[in-house]
Amino acid sequence: MPLIETTVIPGASVYGVQQVSYTVAGAAGKDYSAALIAATLKESAAIEASASSYSAVVQERAHKIDELGRVLAELNKSLAKLKSSGQSTDTAGVDNGAWVNGTASKYGVTLIFQENTADMTRANIMKGQNEIQYVIDTEDNNLQQDMVALQGLVSKRDNAFSSASRIVRKADDAASSVIHNIV
């Protein structure tokens, strides 16, 4: 079996995946279709590895959006506790205050609680809502871009497997035709 070697193509990157060129070393006297199939399968395996890491990024981003969505829901409940005619200095208790504050700060949003309580002023709740919504929107946009990139990788992988399958089928058809003509 010939050895398939990869060479990095400088400056060529698609969706963050470094592109490589495939060459066949030691292919003299070897079956060309076998070398081509091996190169195609190696390419699809490299794409599969990249798709797996992209998938992990997408899952982590979706988890972050989910957690921030739950923080936003808690802030919405707290704001609903305040009277609609209240002042910006009115305070409301935040359910699960420690979790809300910890989760928000984990993702870079600082919520301003009253001293040693889980109470926040109306102004601080609204500020926190806006900041968290901004982070959610940003992450959602990034998630959409990652999903497009992941779909592109999956499509490339599928094309590589299809190419290998077509090569095998053509080689089999050629072999069958030769055998049929001999018999």
Q: Splitting the chain (183 residues) into consecutive groups of 10 residues, what average pLDDT does each group show?
A: 57 60 54 67 77 84 94 90 70 83 89 78 88 94 89 82 77 77 73
Distance CA 87, CA 99 (A): 26
* First-residue to last-residue Cα distance in the chain: 29
User: For position 32, what pLDDT does the model report?
Assistant: 60
What are the tokens at 112?
A: 């301003």
User: For position 62, what pLDDT does the model report?
Assistant: 93
**Three-state secondary-structure class, residue 179:** helix
User: For position 2, what pLDDT does the model report?
Assistant: 47
User: For position 85, what pLDDT does the model report?
Assistant: 56
User: For position 29, what pLDDT does the model report?
Assistant: 45
User: For position 141, what pLDDT does the model report?
Assistant: 94
